[in-house]
Amino acid sequence: MPVVYSAENPAEAHLCRQFLSSEGIESRVDGEILWQARGDLPPNESTNPTVIVSDEDYETARALIEHFEQKLQDGRELDTWSCPHCAEDNPGNFEVCWNCGESAPAAQQTEPL
Ligand SMILES: [Zn+2]
84 Cα: distance to centroid of ligand 1 (angstroms)? 7
pTM for the full model? 0.73
Per-residue pLDDT of 19-30, as tens digits, reads 999 999 999 999
Which pLDDT belongs to residue 42? 67
13 Cα: distance to centroid of ligand 1 (angstroms)? 15
- Check whether 109 has a pLDDT greater than 60: no
87 Cα: distance to centroid of ligand 1 (angstroms)? 6
Helical packing angle, 58-76 and 10-22, nearest 10° = 120
Contact partners, residue 100, CB within 8 Å, separation at least 6: 83, 85, 86, 88
12 Cα: distance to centroid of ligand 1 (angstroms)? 14
Q: How far is CA 32 from the centre of its chain?
A: 12
What is the CATH code for 1-77?
Answer: 3.30.70.1530
The CA distance from 74 to 65, in Å, is 14
83 Cα: distance to centroid of ligand 1 (angstroms)? 5
The ranges assigned to domains in the chain are 1-77, 79-113
